[in-house]
Amino acid sequence: MFRLFSGKQWTGSAHEHSDISASGGIVTKSQIVFTAILAVLSIISFSCSTTSYREVYPLLTDGKYDSEFPYRGCSGQLEQISESVRMVSCIAYYKSWVFPLENKVRRSDLHDPLLKKKAVKEVFLNQTASGSATVIYCENKRVALLTCAHVVDFNDTIFTFYRGEDKRETEILQSIAVKDHQTNYVATIQGTHNLDILAIDKENDLALIGQVIESGETTPITVFRYPLGKAKELDWGSFVYLFGYPAGYRIVTKAIVSNPNRDRYGSFLTDAVFNRGFSGGIVLAVRDGVPNFELVGMMKLVPGHQRYYLTPAKEGEQIEFDPTIPFKGDVYAESRVEIIYGVAPAIPVEMIVDFIKSNHEMLYDKGYDLRSFIAPRPDEKQAAK
């Protein structure tokens, strides 16, 4: 044994050879060997840890959805998936009649053949909406896209009522607007002009739109081909990708799942920064590393609070005025939705599958066979045997 004392020599056994260090101490050869071994072990340990991370991490296949950022690039697959997602634009055209208060028109008067003569003004107006839709079928010159019901659904009739002195609505009609027609347009799909609403579930905010593709030269249409997952298997912190057209831009972004299994279908929330136009965008989770993507849901209505404002001009009109001078022109009331960012609810894939299954016969009669979209994954088929 030996001990080191400050300003003293190393003291070893009588059989050990010693060397004199530059500081005046004596270092035995055994100490030199010991130090060298420690250095080698440190290098080996660092090398092994790096190699283990690179080789073992990709092999962590627990069969669950990943909760960590992907360990390698998958830009090619993400681009391919985004090509199956399109922007859908919808316009509903209305004819509206405005009635004066003194005529005291009520809803019970709607069948009166002289109703239109009681109106003081007849105007045409429209409502617009845009969102995201995913191509899930393209066969036999037919194309079908999955989206949210609120993107393509407009009221057939819109009523407004006069308000009393207590600011509450009365039974007296101020105006009535009746929908004349509607267009659903996907600009990036050639051969289509006005897509039909094939099936709709307003309660669960689901819709299928489609059309027969006109003959002629068309560009290839990318169809979503990845397997359907299970939203019920998502957990707190599961990592997901989202695809859509917020504000009209083709976007892929990432999010983290919160509050999984909110209902019997497996509804969940994400922390995605949601903007108008993202409704109908798809949500994909990763099972055991990329590119093992699975569809687990679809983004629904943007959460927000409705606010009302008084403005000097209708939105879209350009009027210059001095804000330091009291405005004396016409004033309009407008409503706007203030979006709640970072809280984005999703429709689970289980609900989507039930929606398609419940409409299968009707869709099949129209020429849309979606059995290939809702077919189980290969591992599910094996488990069922």
Give the pLDDT confidence of 184-222 residue by residue, as tens digits: 999 888 777 889 999 999 999 999 999 998 876 567 899
- The model's confidence at residue 151, banded by pLDDT at 50, 70 and 90, is very high
Report pLDDT for 117: 85
Considering the domain boundaries, does residue 322 fall inside one?
no
- The model's confidence at residue 324, banded by pLDDT at 50, 70 and 90, is confident
Buried b (16+ CB within 10 A) or exposed e, 356-380: beebbeebeebebebeebbeeeeee
Q: Which range of residues forms the domain containing residue 243?
A: 75-303+340-384
Report pLDDT for 48: 44
C-beta of residue 346 within 8 angstroms of C-beta of residue 283: yes
Percentage of the residues of the chain whose pLDDT score is greater than 90: 48
Report pLDDT for 255: 93
Q: Which of 259, 251, 249 is nearest to 282 (CA)?
A: 251
What CATH number does the domain containing 245 carry? Answer: 2.40.10.120
Per the structure, the count of domains in the chain is 1
Considering the domain boundaries, does residue 312 fall inside one?
no
Residue type present at position 29: K
Predicted confidence (pLDDT) at residue 45 exceeds the cutoff of 80: no
Predicted confidence (pLDDT) at residue 147 exceeds the cutoff of 50: yes
Report pLDDT for 50: 37
Report pLDDT for 101: 92
Please provide residue 128's backbone torsions phi and psi, each rounded to the nearest 5 degrees: -125, 155
Bridge partners of 244?
A: 251
Considering the domain boundaries, does residue 23 fall inside one?
no
Percentage of the residues of the chain whose pLDDT score is greater than 70: 76
Considering the domain boundaries, does residue 62 fall inside one?
no
Predicted confidence (pLDDT) at residue 375 exceeds the cutoff of 50: yes
Predicted confidence (pLDDT) at residue 15 exceeds the cutoff of 50: no
What is the DSSP secondary-structure string of 14-65?
Answer: TT--EEE-TTS-EEEHHHHHHHHHHHHHHHHHHHHHHHHHHHHGGG---SSB
Residue type present at position 64: K
Q: Could you give the 3-state DSSP secondary structure of residue 224?
A: coil
Q: What is the pLDDT averaged over residues 32-40?
A: 59
Report pLDDT for 46: 45
Q: What is the pLDDT averaged over residues 281-309?
A: 86
At residue 275's C-alpha, the angle toward residues 270 and 280, to 5°, is 70
Please provide residue 105's backbone torsions phi and psi, each rounded to the nearest 5 degrees: -80, 135
Report pLDDT for 38: 59
Report pLDDT for 9: 40
- The model's confidence at residue 34, banded by pLDDT at 50, 70 and 90, is low
70-125 confidence digits (pLDDT tens) = 878 889 999 999 999 999 999 999 999 999 999 899 988 888 887 888 899 898 99
Considering the domain boundaries, does residue 7 fall inside one?
no
At residue 352's C-alpha, the angle toward residues 349 and 357, to 5°, is 130
Considering the domain boundaries, does residue 318 fall inside one?
no
Considering the domain boundaries, does residue 277 fall inside one?
yes
The pTM assigned to this predicted structure is 0.73
d(CA 233, CA 266): 8
- The model's confidence at residue 166, banded by pLDDT at 50, 70 and 90, is confident
Report pLDDT for 289: 87
243-269 confidence digits (pLDDT tens) = 999 988 999 999 999 999 998 899 999
Highest-confidence range of 289-293, 302-306, 328-332, by mean pLDDT?
Answer: 289-293
Report pLDDT for 36: 60
Predicted confidence (pLDDT) at residue 380 exceeds the cutoff of 90: no
Considering the domain boundaries, does residue 37 fall inside one?
no
Report pLDDT for 52: 36
Q: Which of 157, 217, 168 is nearest to 191 (CA)?
A: 217
Q: Which residues in the chain belong to E strands, given as ranges? A: 18-20, 26-28, 85-98, 121-139, 142-147, 157-163, 169-185, 196-201, 206-212, 239-244, 251-258, 268-270, 282-286, 293-299, 304-311, 332-339, 344-348
